[in-house]
Amino acid sequence: MFKLTAKALACALSLSIAGLAQAQSPIVIKFSHVVAENTPKGQGALMFKRLAEERLGNKVRVEVYPNSSLFGDGKEMEALLLGDVQLIAPSLAKFEHYSKGIQVFDLPFLFDNMDAVDRFQKGEAGQKLLRSMEDKNITGLAYWHNGLKQLSANKPLREPKDARGLKFRVQASNVLDEQFKALRANPRKMSFAEVYQGLQTGVVNGAENPYSNIYSQKMHEVQKYITESDHGLLDYMVITNTQFWNGLPADVRNELQAILDEVTVEVNKQADDLNEEAKQAILKAGTTEIITLTAEQRAKWREAMQPVWKKFEGEIGADVIEAAQAANAAQ
């Protein structure tokens, strides 16, 4: 009798220890990205980690992997779907296999400025795109800004004809591919981690990036000219694995979403400043001339790239493009 009780007690004890360990072992959230930490996305990921761990105590542990150190382009989406990472924030150019509508963000000269981007992302059409991949097990949680892209090369690009015949690195986006073809240049899809070397060795001659990416990857060291073209957008969608997200305890999920909303406000507020700081640092480095376009020159770039819109209107949806344009007018 005594023996049985002791055994039962030991068993109950070990079960409760196991239960305790289970209750205490934190949910691990791996956040993988491809840029440096001194960029809008890099800073956002770190702020998310800090707030999640502060506010959720032992319930959550966030591991941030910058600079393609865990997964690079081409692999990170697959890793998210396999559950090897729980959060990623690819640029909006990298979703074409999952949601054609998201290609709208790559259309050249679509948004007049970042306020218009903000209005579109917060509006009905933008919010719908966040939810457009749930049938593929991908949930969009937020849009994060980086900013507008600038063209760079080793020769001055003042007019579209200057880009003719040059090889430009592009992200994995058919829209961007067509954008450079419209200039009679040669686009080459390449992962972000390979861009510096590609430019250095001449595999490509030019690229398009916001200042924060140019500076943090030292691309200015291998590009003599940057044309301040503001011709397109490089923003992000923070995404998670739908099954993982829906399987979180409701209190944890709600708190994480609230934290992400807070981080989003901060990232989007600071992105412009980070890009301006990067621009000043490039000027200070003295490696690269920054070319300002006249209104006339800019109009020529716009005209040269404009045919891309029509090409993708069918895939994106005319209504989505209209909603984006309407965001320029709305104040």
Residues forming the site for ligand LMR (CB under 6 A): 34-35, 41, 73, 91, 146, 171, 192, 209, 213, 234
The residue whose Cβ lies closest to ligand LMR is 91
CB of 41 to ligand LMR, least distance (A): 6
Q: Decide whether 59 or 94 has the Cβ nearer to ligand LMR.
A: 94
CB of 12 to ligand LMR, least distance (A): 51
Specify the residue for token string 């770039």: 301
CB of 26 to ligand LMR, least distance (A): 27
Q: Decide whether 166 or 271 has the Cβ nearer to ligand LMR.
A: 271
Specify the residue for token string 């030991």: 10
Question: What is the full DSSP assignment across 137-190?
Answer: TEEEEEEEEEEE-EEEESS---SGGGGTT-EEEE-S-HHHHHHHHHTT-EEEE-
Q: Decide whether 196 or 266 has the Cβ nearer to ligand LMR.
A: 196
**Among positive and negative, which fits the CA dihedral 117, 230, 67, 101?**
positive
* Cα maximum dimension of the chain: 96
> Which candidate, 161, 172, 181, places its Cα nearest to that of 75?
172
CB of 267 to ligand LMR, least distance (A): 12
Q: Decide whether 92 or 316 has the Cβ nearer to ligand LMR.
A: 92
Residue 205's contacts (CB-CB under 8 Å, 6 or more residues apart) are: 153, 154, 155, 166, 167, 168, 199
Q: Decide whether 31 or 192 has the Cβ nearer to ligand LMR.
A: 192
CB of 330 to ligand LMR, least distance (A): 27
> Which candidate, 157, 109, 201, places its Cα nearest to that of 289?
157
Instruction: Give the Cα separation of 231 and 228 in Å (integer).
Output: 8
Instruction: Give the Cα separation of 281 and 278 in Å (integer).
Output: 5
CB of 218 to ligand LMR, least distance (A): 14
Q: Decide whether 175 or 323 has the Cβ nearer to ligand LMR.
A: 175
